[in-house]
Structure 1
Amino acid sequence: MGGIRAAIAGATCLALAIGAFFIANFAAAERLEAQAASAAARGTHMGVGSCAGSTCHGRNEADGEVVRQDELWRWQEESTPGGAHSRAFRVLGEPRSLAIGKKLGIGDPRSAAMCLGCHSTPAAAKGPRFQVNDGVSCEACHGAASGWLSSHYATGTSHARNVSQGMIPLENAQARAGVCLDCHLGNDAPGQFVNHRIMAAGHPRISFELDLFSTLTQHHDEDADYRQRKGKTNSMRMWAVGQAIALERSLSLFGKPGLGTEGVFPEFYFFDCHSCHRRIYDEEDARPTALANPGRPIPTGMPPYNDENMIMLSAAVRIAAPGLAQQYESQARAFHAAMAQGRGPAVEAANRLRQTAMALADQFSRSDFTRAQTFSIMEAIASEAISPRYTDYEGSVQAVMAVDTLLSGLVNQGQVSGGAATSLRAQINQAYAAVAEPNGYKPLEFRRALGGAVRTIRSLQ
C-alpha cells in the first residue's frame, strides 16, 4: 500500500484496486483470527479428564507411536515454564492474588469473573469432567472438544477433519496468535483484559512474544509425522505474524469505547509504563530522564502509546514486506501524532494502522523468511535506524526477545549451527541483563548491549 500512489492519471482506479486487495486480505485475516479466538468458547468443553487416558495423552513416558502421549505430564510439570498453564488457577489462591482481589474489591479471585477468563478455561458449555481448577487446560488452546474428540483418536482420521469439526489449527500463526493473545495481551471477552487498575493492584505487567512463549510451553515433538500432518513450524514466520497480530489486537482494543477509556482518563494500559514510572527530580539543575524518540512525533511530556510491536514491525516490514514499508511507517507516525489531537482522531488513525498490520500478518504468513531475510531483520532490530527508538523498557524487552527467537529459529531450521549460535548467546544474555530489572533500565546501556549482538550477527552471516 505504501508508495503506490502513482501519477494523478488513473489514481482513482489504482487506489480502488489496491484498496480492494487489502480490504479482502484484511477481512480474510480478521475472520481467521476471530474464528480461532471464539472456537475455544464454542461447543462443549469436555475437560482434561477426557484427554487423560493412558492410550491418549496421560502416560508418564513419551513412548507413543504417533505422538508423545505424555502431554498432560508436561502440561503439569512444576519445574518448567511448560507447567504455567496448569498452575494458572492455583495462582489465584496465593497471597499475592488474594491481596489483589481485596484491593479490587472482587473477593476471592478463584470465583471472580475478572480473573477466571484467563486463569481458567472460558467455557459456555461444560461436560461432566470439566473442572474450573484445571486452569488453562487443553481446550483453552485447542478448542472445545465436543465436536472433534471422537474423530481425534479415530483410526484413519486427519488433522484437517479435526479442524473442520472445531479444533483450532494452532500450527497456523494467525490462529495461534488469536488464541494466545486473548490472555497474553487482552480481549474484550469477560475476564480477558488486564487493565491499569488490575496492574496497579499488583498484577504483573503483560509481556508476550508468540514464538518464544510457544516454545516455553511446547508439549509435542515436531517429528516426521507432525510435519506430514501439519507442516514444519517456521519460527521466524511465527514471530513476524505474532508481532503484526499483537499490534492489530492492541489497536482494536484501544478503539473500543468501553476499554480505551477509564472514567475521564484514557486507559493507561495502552501506554508505555516506563514513560510515566520514572523517578522525579525537582532540583533546578535536574536533567530529564526521558529520551527523545524519533518514532513518536508527540509533545514533550506526553505519555506515549506502548509501541513495542510497532518497533519490531519497523524492522520486519523493510525486509519481508518492502512494498508496505512506507505505508506502515507513515501510518505509525500519524497514529502517534493523532494521540495529541484527541481520542477521535487517534481512533481513526488506529483503525488505518490496524488494517495495515493485518495486511502485514497476511503477507508474512506467505513468506518463507529465508536465512538472509532473518539475519537482515535481526540486524535491523539493532541498527542505527531503529535503536534510537529504544527509549522505554517495553520496546527493549521485545527487541531482545526478538533476537533470541530469530536466532533459535535459524538453529531449528538448520540454517545456523548450535556451535555458531553460542557466540551470539553471550551478547543476547547481556541484552537480557540490561532489561532484567524495569526500575534499573538504562536505554543507552541497552543499546550498547544490543549493538554488540549486531556485530556478532554480521560475523555469522
Structure 2
Amino acid sequence: MKISMLRLPVYLFGLLVLGSSSSVMAEKNTITGPHKHMGVATCASSVCHGKPAPDANSYALLNEYRTWSREDLHSKAYKILFNAESKRMAKNLGLASAHTADICLDCHADNVPQSQRGPKFVIRDGVGCEACHGGSENWLDSHYKKGVTHAENLKAGMYPTESPKPRAEMCLSCHLGTKDKFATHRIMGAGHPRLAFELETFTANQPAHYVVDKDYLERKGQIESVTMWVAGVYYTAKQTLELYNSHLLTANGLIPELSFYDCHACHHPMDKKNWRQTSIEVGLKPGDLRLNDSALQMLIGISFIRDQEAAQGLLQLSRGLHVASRKDIATLRNASKQLLNQLAGMEDMLLRNYNRNEISELRKRILTKSAAGQYRDYTSAEQAFLAVETLTLALDQSERYANLMDSFYGSLASESAFQQTRFASLAQRLLSTMYP
C-alpha cells in the first residue's frame, strides 16, 4: 500500500525534543515498558531485518534495518548531538556535552536505564527499533516463528504501534513531552527549534518499513488515515492539558513556563499591528499571552461534524482555559480538569471512522474558518493546512488541487514572514474551488 507523501518542511522531522528531566536513570519510566532493549544489532543481520532488498517470500519486508539506517531521520538523532548547533546549545545550558546529557539523550536516543540495556545495546544507535517497538527481551526469539500471533508478541512486550492511542502517546513523549521531559522555554532560548508535530503527517512522511497488505490487515487491522489524524489531534490536546497542570504555573515562579504559549504571540515584528480576537479568544485582552491551543482548535472543528452541542461545550471550556491561565494555579487546574473530562466523554465519538461526506464537511469547515481569519497565528495555521492536506488525500483529490495546495503550503514557508491575510486569501481560493 503506497503512502502518499504530505508536504512538510524537512527540518520538522529533526525536532526531537530536549527533555527537562532531572530524574535518576534507574527511576526513569519508559513509554514502551520495562523489558530489556537488546539493541539494534540484534535486528540488523542479513537473515533478519538487514537484507539489502525486500524479501518477496516473507510476510515482512526484512530490509527494515536498511530503510531505518539510510532513510529514517530517527537513526540520525544521536549524531545530531555532535554538530556545532548542539554543542552551542549545550554550552548555553551549562552542560558538559549534548551527547552525554540525559535531557538530550532522553529523546535523541533510546535512553533506557542501564538495567534495561541488553548485551548488544548501543546508545549511539539513536532512536532505534526498540525505542518504538518496545524492549525485545521476551519477543525477539518468538516474533518471527510461525504460529506466534501478534497478540502473543504484544503480551511479551512488543509495543502496539499500529493502534492510535499507543502510537500517539509514544510519538508525543518526545515530539510534545511528558511530565518528566519536555522542551522548556529555557531550552528553546538556548537554541532548540520550536516543536511541531501532527501524528498522521509525520507517520506518512516517514520512510515506510512495512506494507499494509492482506497479512498485515489480518494480524493488526487498519486505522483509516483521517481517524489516525483525529487521534493525533485528540491525544495532543489531552497530553497538553495534563502538562499544563504540572508545569505551566508554579507556586514560587514569577513567570509561567512560556513554552506552552503560542511562540508567535510574542516573537513577531512589533511593526505588525495585527491583534484581533478570534472566536476561541473571547475573554482575552490585547497583550495577554495566548496558550498554544492549536490541537484544541482542530478538535473543536472536528467535533462540530459529529455533535454540535458537545463542540459548543468544548469551545466554551477552551475559552475558559485561556482566561484561567491568566489567574492562578487552582483556577487553571480546575479549567484543565473540566476540559479533560469533556474530552474523555467525547473520545469514542471522535475516534470512530469518518465517511466521505463527513471528511468533506470537515475540510470545508476548516477552510471556512481559515478564510475568515480564525487561524491567525502560525501554529494554528500550520495545523489547519496539515488537516486540509490529510483530508484532501483521504478524498483522493490531491492531484486535482495540487497547484492550489502548493500555494497554500507556500504561505507557511517562513514563520517570521508568515502573513495571516495571505493564508486566509489562499484558503478562500481553495474553498471557492473545492466548494463552488
Taking structure 1 as the reference length, the TM-score comes to: 0.83
Return the alpha-carbon distance in structure 1 between the equivalents of residues 209 and 184 of structure 2: 30
2:401 equivalent to 1:438: no
Secondary structure in structure 2 of the residue aligned to 1:44: coil
2:269 equivalent to 1:279: yes
CA displacement at 1:55 relative to structure 2:
2.6
Return the alpha-carbon distance in structure 1 between the equivalents of residues 90 and 31 of structure 2: 29
Equivalent residues of 2:371, 2:427 under 8 A apart: no
2:401 equivalent to 1:424: yes
2:153 equivalent to 1:162: yes
Partner of residue 276, structure 2: 291
Secondary structure in structure 1 of the residue aligned to 2:141: helix
Equivalent residues of 1:278, 1:289 under 8 A apart: no
- Which stretch shows the higher mean deviation, 377-386 or 133-142? 377-386
Partner of residue 234, structure 1: 224
Counterparts of residues 240-255 of structure 1 (less than 5 Å) = 240-255=230-245
Secondary structure in structure 1 of the residue aligned to 2:373: helix
CA displacement at 1:324 relative to structure 2:
2.2
CA displacement at 1:159 relative to structure 2:
0.9
Counterparts of residues 47-446 of structure 1 (less than 5 Å) = 47-64=39-56, 65-78=58-71, 83-124=72-113, 125-189=116-180, 192-217=181-206, 218-257=208-247, 260-261=249-250, 263-281=253-271, 288-297=273-282, 298-322=284-308, 324-365=310-351, 367-384=352-369, 387-410=372-395, 416=396, 420-446=397-423
Equivalent residues of 2:30, 2:112 under 8 A apart: no
Aligned length: 402
Return the alpha-carbon distance in structure 2 between the equivalents of residues 427 and 332 of structure 1: 32
Return the alpha-carbon distance in structure 2 between the equivalents of residues 407 and 432 of structure 1: 13
Q: Alignment identity in percent? A: 32
* Residues 346-374 of structure 1, C-alpha deviations (whole Å, 9 max, x = no match): 22101211232344333333x12111111
CA displacement at 1:384 relative to structure 2:
4.0
Equivalent residues of 2:369, 2:375 under 8 A apart: no
Secondary structure in structure 2 of the residue aligned to 1:269: helix
Equivalent residues of 2:371, 2:426 under 8 A apart: no
Partner of residue 451, structure 1: 428
Secondary structure in structure 1 of the residue aligned to 2:62: coil
Return the alpha-carbon distance in structure 2 between the equivalents of residues 173 and 305 of structure 1: 25
Equivalent residues of 2:275, 2:286 under 8 A apart: no
Tell me: CA distance 1:320–1:169, structure 2 relative to 1, closer, same or farther (3 Å). Answer: farther
Return the alpha-carbon distance in structure 1 between the equivalents of residues 370 and 51 of structure 2: 51
Equivalent residues of 1:320, 1:369 under 8 A apart: no
* Residues 318-353 of structure 1, C-alpha deviations (whole Å, 9 max, x = no match): 113445212211211111122233332122101211
Return the alpha-carbon distance in structure 2 between the equivalents of residues 319 and 338 of structure 1: 28
What is the Cα-based RMSD across aligned positions, in Å?
1.9
